[in-house]
Structure 1
Amino acid sequence: MSNASIPSYDEVVTGRRSIRGYLDKPVPRDLIEEVLALAMRTPSSMNTQPWHFHVITGEPLARIRKGNTDNILAGVPDSREFRRGSAFGGVHRDRQVEVAKQLFGAMGIEREDKDARQDWVLRGFRQFDAPICVIIAYDRVLDDGDDSKFDCGAVATALVNAAWSRGLGCVINSQGIMQSPVVREHVGIPEDQVIMKAVAMGWPDESFPANAVVSNRRSVDDAARFVGFSS
């Protein structure tokens, strides 16, 4: 990609969307490496750079998808390797419901259509059928503090923005790593790493209705306080 065709930072941040529908088109390894190199410029606590990226495609990814969906349909409890916390409530739940309504509306999924709603959920466990899945993990030796989780969140954000700047779409999700033993089995993630998040990646399918959804964002006035300013 020429420099002339690379969007500005503002264009990336304001234009990026979470992509949940992908073209059946492979992503070149050298392009993924370019995106990762950009993402890894992310600052980290004391320059620890705790992150590891496991980039999966093809048959291993197909086996993970099958293992994830088979387990969830069989009622196997999830086994995330990081704290999930309690269910959202209050305004946080309101925002969760709002974007779900946007997505279901775009996809034409009615509230009473249980089959369609379940299929949508299973798409998450299939990594949204993206050609690439990036598993982000961190060094287990750092698990007793929160800095490494914070740093992995930062690098995940940088990753999806870097991908968008190169024409690739992503969505950060947890469904892809809910069945962590499945992921470990088919990827060979070392036991000295903690699985943090999954990122689906690929070329956006512009005909997929949910890809047009842009979630509502809080205003600066709502989210920020300014202290000590004269005006």
Structure 2
Amino acid sequence: MSSQELTFSQVVKKRYSARAFLPSPIPSDVLKDILLKAQCAPSNCNTQPWSLHIVAGDKLRELSHALTADLKAGNYSLDFTFDKEAYPEPFRQSALEQVRSYYQALGVARGDNLSRSEVVERNVKFFGAPHVALLFIPVVGDNVRVALDAGMYAQVFLLSLAARGYAGVPQAVLSYFAQTVRRILNVPEDFRLLYGISFGIPDKTHPSLSYREGRVSIDESVVWHQ
């Protein structure tokens, strides 16, 4: 390993969810290398049950325009049910703390509904990123095993981005508009949208990058058996 390469520990610690990006795209040869590394992710019986649609340029602007219209109209079409409020404690508290820290970093006060609406809209504008990856899976049983495989693929993709100095942010909210995404990207109906990942060069001057989400201790998340 050359002195320029990061260790695994450095890559894991470097990865974070960026919510502001510069407009410069990732060079195609670099992006292909990142994707080749992501393809090394494990999967059940090596089925590799994921289909990643990467969107940029004019098609990205078309998609953003359509999703913005859907968001404003409340036109939701989820492939999988999702209710953040249904999380039991302490998981729900972690989500609330992330939202509080994010809005605080942006200087948006509680009760400022107009500003909060603008913050939500940033999601469907992909936080200014030049690329978004939409992660689809085929319908297999209850989809849990396939979603697990796709999640491992997405994690390797995110770590591969971080190793190159880029960043990404998984966005469950993009899956709220599955039918629109499928229509615009011409994705078959039997592939379901898990979520999207906006990615690119992080804009480190943006206030949303002024904080980092905390992590619970392993004593809270790991049970030891001997």
Q: TM-score range by the shorter chain?
A: over 0.9
Q: Report runs of 4+ in structure 1 exceeding 2 Å deviation.
A: 2-6, 85-90
* 2:127 aligned with 1:110: no
Please give the alpha-carbon distance, in whole angstroms, between the structure 2 residues aligned to 1:111 and 1:84: 24
1:62 paired residue number: 61
Could you give the per-residue CA deviations for residues 135-194 of structure 1, whole angstroms, max 9, x where no partner exists?
Answer: 111123x24342101111111111111101011110001222311122112211122322
Amino acid at match of 2:151: G
User: Where in structure 2 are there 5+ consecutive unaligned residues?
Assistant: none
d(CA) in 2 for partners of 1:115, 1:6: 44
Counterpart AA for 1:108? G
What is the aligned partner in structure 1 of residue 223 from structure 2? Answer: 225
Secondary structure in 1 aligned to 2:168?
strand
Cα 1:104–1:85 shift into 2, 3 Å: closer
Alignment of 1:145-224 (within 5 A): 145-224=143-222
Describe the SS at the equivalent of 2:41.
coil
Aligned to 1:15: 14
In structure 1, how many angstroms separate the alpha carbons of the residues matched to 2:4 and 2:167? 16
> How much has 1:23 moved relative to structure 2?
0.5
Q: Secondary structure at the match of 1:19?
A: coil
**What residue is the counterpart of 2:48 in the other structure?**
49
Instruction: Determine what percentage of the aligned residue pairs are the same residue.
Output: 25
Q: TM-score, normalised by structure 1?
A: 0.92
Aligned partner of residue 198 in structure 2, secondary structure: strand
Distance of 1:45 and 1:21 partners within structure 2: 34
Deviations 1:70-111 (A, max 9, x none): 1111122x2121232562342222111111111111111111
Q: Secondary structure at the match of 1:90?
A: coil
Partner of 1:155, secondary structure, is helix
In structure 2, give the amino acid aligned to 1:194: R
Contact (CA 8 Å) 2:170, 2:196: kept in 1 or not?
A: yes
Task: Give the counterpart letter for 1:84 in structure 2.
Answer: F
Q: Is residue 84–residue 92 contact of structure 2 (8 Å, CA) maintained in 1?
A: no
* Matches of 2:165 and 2:61, distance apart in 1: 24
SS state at 2:77 partner: coil
Q: Whole-Å Cα distance in 2 between the matches of residues 36 and 211 of structure 1?
A: 25
Aligned-partner SS, 2:202: coil
Give the secondary-structure state (helix, strand or coil) at the position aligned to 1:198: strand
Deviations 1:17-50, CA, capped at 9 Å, x for gaps? 1100001112112211111111111111111110
Instruction: Report the equivalent of 1:122.
Output: 121
Task: Work out the CA distance in 1 between the residues paired with 2:111 and 2:84.
Answer: 26
Q: CA deviation at 1:3?
A: 4.7
- Deviation at residue 211 of structure 1 after TM alignment: 1.6
Please give the TM-score of this superposition, normalised by the length of structure 2.
0.93
> In 1, distance between residues paired with 2:5 and 2:81?
37
Conserved? CA contact 1:127–1:175, under 8 Å: no
